[in-house]
Every structure is written in C-alpha cells, then in structure tokens.
C-alpha cells in the first residue's frame, strides 16, 4: 500500500504546473509538442500490440463479454447513480470528471501484470485489456456524450470521435501496421518505450494543469473536493471489484478466469484517459476532468496490488492442501 512512483512524479508535475504554468506563446509551443507526443504515444501502443497474443485469447468470449460489460456498462451506470450527490456533496465539475472516468477503457499493462501476479489467465488478460483499449477509442466519446447530455451539459460527440480518430486511432493503426518492421526493436526496448509513454502523459498533464491553473482551478477545487474524490473512488472501485468477483463465480468461471475478470474489469486507463481528455474537452477544463482519473488510478494500483497478493497466497494454500491430500 505505497504510492506508485509514477503517481509521485504526476504529483510533482501538477505542483510544477501550479507554481510555474506555461502561458502565452510558450503554451502554444507546448500544445504543439503535446500533440506530437500523444501521436507518438499511440503509435507505440499500436507497435507494442502483438497480434499473436491478441488472437490467442479470443476463444474466451464469455470472459471478454463480462469484462467489457464491467468496463463500458457497469462503470457508467454506477457513475450515473451518483447524480443525487450533486451539488450537495460533489461539485458539478468533479462529477463530470467521474462520468468521464467511468466511460474510459481498461488499462493494459497493469491489468496484465496483476493478472500474472495473482495466477490468472494471462493470454485472456492480454486479449481483453487490448480489446478494451481499442474499443475505448470508439465507445468512450459516445458514452461521455450520452452521460454528460443526461446532466444537461453538451459535448460534440461526433467532433470528439473525429478528433480521436485522427489524433489517436490513426497513429495507433500506423504503429500496429509497422510492427513487422519495428516489432522486434519495440519488444527488446520495452523499458525505454515505457519511459516514453510516461513522459508523454506527464507532458499532457503539465500542459492541461497549466491551462487549468491560469483559469483558476485551485479556486474551484479545495481539500473537500479532493477528499470527496478519494472517497468516491474507493466506493466505486469496491463496488466494481465486488460485482466482478460475484458475477464470475455466479457464471461458473474457473479461478484463473475469475482473476482475469477482476483485474481487467476494474481498471481505468490513465494512458488513454489523459490524451483523450486533451482531445475531447476545452483546454481550460481538462485539468478538472482528469483529476478524478489521476486519483482513481493510484487507488486502483494500491488496492489491486494487495488483492493480487491475496489471490497468490490463497493459491499457495490450496496447492499445499492438495499435496497433503
């Protein structure tokens, strides 16, 4: 239960943006650099995606349906159920950030890592998490548009989809098509690619929070709002984890598949969420929109690390018991 190092760096970047925001002509140049960094980020996402690993897990279609339902149905429904808390308990701006969080796809790297750590079905996790990331490029803007329209706000869904297709999906497809040429290099330099991914996210966060600071984000968001984000994130994650454990056992999945459903169906992607917000929303509102996502991201890592260790310990106990019998 310790802070993820990347989250610590994120906090430092937000602090830096709060003290020294980029403004004026510098903001223009940083904005251009951000677009290039995001395009490179999704190019590398496509290049890292192994078609063989993706196809090897396609046979577990029931598992994938449960994961997709958790990611793109359960999360949004829970987000809408929070509506009565607005504005008495949660500010409208923070609530819209939660709706955006609920519409996002699952993570890829951490979902697979926790599944492997806990002894789950890794090939199915690779397929499910990768499919979620790809489908999220189409589903997330539609879900955001539908949910925010319910709240009386407006999002140009068609424009968002077009922008995401051009700025995110196109580099992703080009990267994946380039895999036969650069795949071996990408696979042998994954730590370097990971640093590149994180650097791109940090740059987007810095630019987004710089604009938000200029617009007065810390006059809109106080300690009470931060505490409410932490509390709601914990409740949201607990509900989703509890549902995924219950439904996987109810539907008769084996233990390995249950682990995959639990970890792939409860994650929300910071790597996809921050760049997508930068494309979908006005620059002045991106900082507030991604704040719940950044906090939820850290909480999901801490909780799932503990849960993965618990699954692994239970598996060790079961193995000892079977040997004694």
Which pLDDT tens digit goes with each residue over 144-192? 888 876 555 555 666 777 777 788 888 888 988 898 888 888 888 878 8
What is the reported pLDDT for 233? 95
Backbone angles phi, psi at 91, to 5 degrees: -70, 150
d(CA 318, CA 307): 17
CA 152 to chain centre: 25
Nearest partner of 123 among 72, 193, 42, 63, judged by Cα = 63
Could you report the per-residue pLDDT of 75-106, keeping only the tens digit for each?
A: 999 999 988 888 888 888 899 999 999 999 99
Q: At CA 294, angle to CA 288 and CA 298, rounded to 5?
A: 155
CA distances in angstroms from 98 to 76, 78, 83, 91, 321, listed in the order given: 9, 10, 10, 11, 44
Q: What pLDDT is stored for residue 168 in this prediction? A: 81
Radius of gyration in angstroms for the set of CA atoms belonging to the chain, rounded to a whole number:
20
Which phi-psi region, left, alpha or beta, contains residue 216 (left: φ > 0; alpha: ψ -120 to 50)?
left
The reported pLDDT for the residue numbered 206 is 87
**What's the length of the chain?**
325
The average confidence (pLDDT) of the chain is 85
Coil vs helix vs strand at 104: coil
| Backbone φ, ψ for residue 105 (5° rounding) | -75, 175
**Residue 212 confidence (pLDDT) above 60:** yes
> In this model, does residue 47 exceed pLDDT 70?
yes
- The 8-class DSSP code of residue 105 comes to P
pTM for this model (two decimals): 0.84
Indicate the pLDDT class of residue 129, thresholds 50, 70 and 90: confident
Distance CA 139, CA 161 (A): 9
Q: What's the distance, CA 312 to chain centroid? A: 24
């Amino acid at each position: 239960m310790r802070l993820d190092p990347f989250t610590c760096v994120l906090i430092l970047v937000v602090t830096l943006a709060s003290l020294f925001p980029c403004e004026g002509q510098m903001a223009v140049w940083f904005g251009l650099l951000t677009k290039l960094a995001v395009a490179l980020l999704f190019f590398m996402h496509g290049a890292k995606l192994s078609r063989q690993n993706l196809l090897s897990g396609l046979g577990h279609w029931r598992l994938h349906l449960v994961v997709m339902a958790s990611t793109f149905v359960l999360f949004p429904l829970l987000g809408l159920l929070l509506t009565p808390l607005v504005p008495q308990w949660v500010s409208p701006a923070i609530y819209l950030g939660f709706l955006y969080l609920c519409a996002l796809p699952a993570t890829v790297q951490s979902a697979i890592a926790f599944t492997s750590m806990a002894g789950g079905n890794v090939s199915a996790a690779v397929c499910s998490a990768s499919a979620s990331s790809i489908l999220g490029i189409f589903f997330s803007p539609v879900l955001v548009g539908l949910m925010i329209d319910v709240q009386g706000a407006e999002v140009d869904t068609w424009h968002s989809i077009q922008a995401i297709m051009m700025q995110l999906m196109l580099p992703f497809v080009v990267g994946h098509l380039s895999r036969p040429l650069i795949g071996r290099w990408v696979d042998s330099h994954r730590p370097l690619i990971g640093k590149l991914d994180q650097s791109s996210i940090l740059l987007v966060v810095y630019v987004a929070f710089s604009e938000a600071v200029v617009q007065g984000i810390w006059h809109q968001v106080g300690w009470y709002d931060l505490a409410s984000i932490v509390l709601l994130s914990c409740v949201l994650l607990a509900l989703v984890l509890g549902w995924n454990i219950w439904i996987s056992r109810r539907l008769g999945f084996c233990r390995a598949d249950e682990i995959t459903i639990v970890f792939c169906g409860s994650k929300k992607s910071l790597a996809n969420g921050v760049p997508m917000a930068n494309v979908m929303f006005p620059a002045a509102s991106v900082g507030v929109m991604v704040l719940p996502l950044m906090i939820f991201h850290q909480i999901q890592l801490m909780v799932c690390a503990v849960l993965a260790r618990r699954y692994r310990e239970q598996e060790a106990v079961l193995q000892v018991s079977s040997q004694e019998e």
